[in-house]
């Protein structure tokens, strides 16, 4: 059915009925991807990994070299904690204060739907979120984890399967990395001593730096180097001499700012998460009578572009199990409203992309559609655009704001 929402939203959700929650979350703590020193510490990271339940061992995942990029025991604990929060915050709203958790997933009235990217760490995160949400491994096993083929995945910016996005996004990333501050310098130059310390501690050779993310190039692999140190820091490992906690935090914030900037281009944002945003709007526009909790187990590359699509870019690099919840509510008069939470806190969304635009924490569904319309794209439009390389010039911008 086509939902209409033409009234002004209330100041809070008192008296409203919760119909849907779409919870998009990053995976839990993981081991680093190998870079320099990390390769020599394989045995240590093996001891920190989470055991994989038998039911998940039977699936095939995106290939990764053991023990790198896998969920840790700490990551499983974080995921359970997120699931417990979802249970306490949403299930009473969905099912009433006296709900029986054993009745949530009946074939006739499933309350929970879950999708994950095809990585072992995101499937494990999803599993332990379900454990925290439903209270036991047996209950977690009652919820199927669906997954798209890699070529069709839209829970991250899938540039490996979209040539136009690959070209546009890499150009935008280089531009962000080359930008200078008020002092006429790139921010990297202020952390030269830190870079030297990481080069020595991680045994990085710029001629042969080991595994790199595409966003690590060109130049020093800031993203992967900082990530490697932060993974160890979370487990109590000492930082190398010449590097402080404050420096790690500040560099991660600056990297997050650069990362968010790459999605300010409208075409890049559409190709990155436009299909995911359309799925969200379509689901809210066709909601039925059964309250539904939609769970999406993804990555920082899910959280960051989605936050830009909502008009409030994440200010810091998304932490492990960071979560964006998009809620759909209904009033007694039959009108529909939307609220967005970042890590459990309500966020006021700007109603347009203009500077100084009015912000609201609870919006009508029509207002939310207007926000989403800037970034959402259909599957057909996506397919056509991805293969169209016309009009692309090195260093050029498309429809940027």
3-state secondary structure 368-398: HHHHHHCCCCCHHHHHHHHHCCCCCCCCCCC
Report the distance separating Cα 292 and Cα 23, nearest Å: 11
Q: Where are the domains of the chain?
A: 17-157+265-373, 159-261
Percentage with pLDDT > 90 across the chain: 68
Q: Is residue 329 within 8 Å of residue 341, measured between CB atoms? A: no
Report the distance separating Cα 339 and Cα 286, nearest Å: 17
Report the distance separating Cα 135 and Cα 129, nearest Å: 10
Per-residue pLDDT tens digits for 211-267: 666 666 567 889 989 999 999 999 999 999 999 999 999 999 999 999 999 999 999
- pLDDT of residue 400 exceeding 60, the answer is no
For 346: left if phi > 0, alpha if psi spans -120 to 50, otherwise beta; the answer is beta
Pick from 108-112, 260-264, 269-273: least confident: 108-112
Q: Tell me the mean pLDDT in the region 317-343.
A: 95
Report the distance separating Cα 341 and Cα 111, nearest Å: 20
Q: Tell me the mean pLDDT in the region 17-24.
A: 95
Mean pLDDT across the chain, nearest whole number? 88
245-261 helix and 300-309 helix, angle to the nearest 10 degrees: 50
- pLDDT of residue 129 exceeding 80, the answer is yes
Q: Specify the pLDDT at position 166.
A: 93
- pLDDT of residue 19 exceeding 90, the answer is yes
Q: Is residue 328 within 8 Å of residue 287, measured between CB atoms? A: yes
What's the token pair of residue 324?
């964006």
**Hunting for tokens 């635009």 — which residue is that?**
357
Residue 196 exposure: Cα atoms within 13 Å on the Cβ side: 6
What's the token pair of residue 288?
């039925």
Q: Tell me the CA distances in angstroms from 220 to 97, 213, 225, 360, one per residue in order.
A: 54, 11, 9, 41
Report the distance separating Cα 89 and Cα 131, nearest Å: 15
- pLDDT of residue 362 exceeding 70, the answer is yes
3-state secondary structure the chain: CCCCCCCCCCCCCCCCEEEEEEEEEECCCECCCCCCHHHHCHHHHHCCECCCCHHHHCCCCCCCCCCCCCEEHHHHHHHHHHHHHHHHHHHHHHHCCCCCHHHCEECCEECEEEEECCCHHHHHHHHHHHHHHHCCHHHHCCCCEECCCHHHCCCCCCHHHCHHHHHHHHHHHHHHHHCCCCCCCCHHHHHHHHHHHHHHHCCCCCCCCCCCCHHHCCCCCHHHHHHHHHHHHHCCCCCCCCCCHHHHHHHHHHHHHHHHHCCCEHHHHHHHHHHHHHHHHHHHHCCCCCCEEEEEEECHHHHHHHHHHCCCCCCCCCCCCCEEEEEEEECCCCCEEEEEEECCEECCEECCCCCCCCEECEEEHHHHHHHHHCCCCCHHHHHHHHHCCCCCCCCCCCCEC
Pick from 203-212, 259-268, 346-355: least confident: 203-212
Q: Is residue 145 within 8 Å of residue 122, measured between CB atoms? A: no
CATH superfamily of 17-157+265-373: Phosphoglycerate mutase-like (3.40.50.1240)
* Closest to 92 measured CA to CA, from 280, 283, 284, 293: 293
- Produce one character per residue of 316-345: b if its CB has 16 or more CB atoms within 10 Å, e if not: ebbbbbbbbbbbbbbbeeebbbbbbbbbee
Pick 107 or 29 by higher pLDDT. 29
């Amino acid at each position: 059915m086509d939902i209409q929402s033409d009234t002004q939203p209330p100041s809070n959700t008192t008296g409203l009925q919760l119909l849907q929650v779409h919870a998009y979350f990053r995976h839990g703590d993981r081991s680093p991807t190998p870079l320099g020193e990390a390769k020599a510490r394989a045995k240590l990271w093996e001891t920190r990994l989470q055991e994989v339940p038998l039911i998940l061992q039977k699936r095939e995942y995106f290939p990764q070299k053991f023990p790198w990029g896998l969920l840790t025991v700490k990551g499983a604990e974080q995921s359970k904690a997120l699931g417990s929060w979802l249970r306490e915050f949403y299930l009473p709203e969905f099912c009433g204060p006296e709900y029986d958790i054993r009745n949530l997933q009946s074939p006739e009235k499933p309350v929970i739907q879950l999708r994950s990217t095809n990585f072992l760490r995101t499937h494990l995160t999803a599993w332990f979120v379900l454990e925290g949400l439903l209270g036991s491994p047996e209950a977690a096993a009652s919820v199927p984890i669906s997954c798209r083929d890699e070529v069709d995945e839209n829970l991250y910016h899938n540039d490996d399967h979209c040539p136009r996005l690959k070209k546009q996004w890499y150009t935008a990333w280089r531009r962000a990395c080359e930008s200078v501050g008020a002092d006429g310098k790139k921010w990297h130059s202020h952390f030269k001593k830190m870079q030297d310390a990481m080069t020595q501690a991680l045994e990085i050779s710029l001629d042969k730096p080991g595994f790199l993310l595409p966003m690590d190039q060109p130049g020093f692999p800031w993203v992967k180097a900082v990530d490697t140190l932060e993974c160890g820091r979370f487990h109590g490992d000492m930082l190398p001499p010449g590097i402080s906690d404050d420096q790690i935090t500040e560099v991660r914030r600056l990297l997050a700012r650069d990362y968010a900037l790459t999605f300010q281009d409208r075409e890049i944002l559409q190709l990155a998460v436009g299909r995911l945003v359309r799925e969200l709007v379509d689901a809210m526009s066709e909601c039925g009578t059964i309250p539904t909790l939609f769970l999406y187990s993804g990555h920082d590359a899910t959280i960051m572009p989605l936050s830009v699509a909502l008009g409030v870019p994440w200010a810091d690099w998304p932490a492990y199990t960071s979560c964006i919840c998009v809620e759909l509510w209904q009033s007694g008069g039959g009108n529909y409203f939307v609220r967005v939470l970042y890590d459990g806190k309500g966020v006021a969304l700007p109603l347009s992309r203009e500077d100084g635009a009015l912000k609201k924490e609870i919006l009508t569904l029509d207002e939310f559609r207007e926000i989403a319309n800037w970034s959402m794209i259909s599957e057909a439009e996506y397919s056509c655009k991805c293969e169209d390389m016309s009009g692309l010039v090195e260093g050029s911008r498309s429809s940027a704001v």
